[in-house]
Amino acid sequence: MSSELAHAKRLIVKVGSSLVTNSGQGLDHAALTRWVIQIAELRKRGREVILVSSGAIAEGMQRLGWKKRPSAVHELQAAAAVGQMGLIEAYESRFRQHGLLTSQVLLTHEDLADRKRYINARTTLRTLLELGVVPIINENDTVATDEIRFGDNDTLGALVTNLVEADALIILTDQSGLYSADPRKTPDATLIRDAVAGSPELEQMAGGAGSDIGLGGMLTKVIAAKRAARSGAHTVIASGHEENVLVRLVDGEHVGTLLRAATPPLAARQQWMADHLQMRGRLTLDAGAIKALRDMQSSLLPIGVIAVNGEFERGEVVGCCDESGCEIARGLVNYSASEARRIVCTPSSEIEKKLGYVDEPELIHRDNLVVL
């Protein structure tokens, strides 16, 4: 692990609910102090750090006197609005003691799904880092609906990693790392020390969700590492209960599980497309089209599409799936859903005959396509 993190200049640190709250009942201020001390030490060593922190809803619940996490969206949003005040206040006062400025950045998927807003968010965060500020990021639960949610802060951490082209993502949890099986159920499960992010067997090992405080289990962390690897970032999954864990990691000590990025980073435009979590629609491809996309980096032609699902307009991002529903690529489509349905299984030379016009010979041009 020494070379991967010892030379990492820009770090994303994600701390989960169990590490910043007292069993979900408000903030654990002693824990927040420990995180701030470690991040301040990293800043002294010239590292840029963005902190992705959970805890707003739990803090809001305590301030509102709620003992049980509500299920109604409007109540969760209210708790988040109240709790964000306490969360940021707690961090800001502690960072100030170390002479560090902080900023609050709240994001939804909608902020990153629009190309212009994606670039704006990227520019803002990179400027904050250049100014020596520690950005503290959370999902904007106050306004987020299911349609625009990231779903968990592991995913948010990975997308921010891609957004600012960080060198590494550190996901801190209440587990020692990724095990070969759930150690709570399988006593002889072994800790995975080193693996390649995105390896299929990792998701099988990860299993289901963990505590009932946060939403993200080990599976979301493994998938987050796979996402982070798309921009060339390595991921470490480690226990936040380890003494001085952040400093030890950047000192090169092997703590937890290292999931290495083994593929070349995607180009910026491809990265933006890959980061879309919700697709407007899906195209089902035949085996020939899948082979052409994967092996020859070809454009997607209408003749290779056998079905169209969903409603979308020209220029929107759609997923490309095999017949079992597994997504293998995504891209900016040249035709609307209604047009696409009329030209599936059709040679490009016959598009005009079917539609009366031709916008493009490809359904998705290879320059607007990313294979996942």
Of 225, 241, 266, the last residue of a domain is: 266
Residues 244 and 98 in one domain: yes
Residues 186 and 312 in one domain: no
CA atoms within 13 A on the CB side of 214: 29
Residue 255 lies in a domain: yes
Residues 152 and 296 in one domain: no
- Tokens describing residue 285: 């491809």
Of 266, 301, 330, the last residue of a domain is: 266
Residues 315 and 213 in one domain: no
Residue 26 lies in a domain: yes
Residues 130 and 100 in one domain: yes
Predicted confidence at residue 214, as pLDDT, reads 38
Residue 274 lies in a domain: no
Residues 85 and 228 in one domain: yes
Residues 116 and 222 in one domain: yes
Residue 12 lies in a domain: yes
Site of tokens 């159920």: 185
- Among 317, 309, 301, 316, smallest CA distance to 284 is for 309
Predicted confidence at residue 277, as pLDDT, reads 65
Which CATH number do you get for residue 298?
A: 2.30.130.10
Residues 114 and 242 in one domain: yes
Tell me the residue range of the domain where 349 lies: 279-371
The pLDDT tens digits of the residues spanning 1-30 come to 556 788 899 999 999 888 999 876 789 999
Residues 312 and 166 in one domain: no
Describe the crossing of helices 153-163 and 218-228 by its angle, rounded to 10 degrees: 10
- Tokens describing residue 352: 């005009």
Residue 140 lies in a domain: yes
Residues 228 and 294 in one domain: no
Q: Give the burial class of 188: count Cβ atoms within 10 A of its Cβ; 0-12 exposed, 13-18 middle, 19 or more buried.
A: exposed
Question: How many domains are there within the chain?
Answer: 2
Predicted confidence at residue 210, as pLDDT, reads 43
Give the integer Cα–Cα distance in Å for 269 and 241: 38
Which CATH number do you get for residue 227?
A: 3.40.1160.10
Predicted confidence at residue 209, as pLDDT, reads 43
Residue 9 lies in a domain: yes
Residues 353 and 255 in one domain: no
- Among 168, 235, 243, 245, smallest CA distance to 206 is for 235
Q: Give the burial class of 208: count Cβ atoms within 10 A of its Cβ; 0-12 exposed, 13-18 middle, 19 or more buried.
A: exposed
Predicted confidence at residue 205, as pLDDT, reads 81
Of 266, 293, 310, the last residue of a domain is: 266
- Among 47, 69, 76, 77, smallest CA distance to 170 is for 47
| Regions of the chain with pLDDT less than 50 | 147-148, 208-216
Residues 41 and 180 in one domain: yes
- Tokens describing residue 235: 């991921």
Q: Residue 190 is inside which H or E element, if any?
A: none
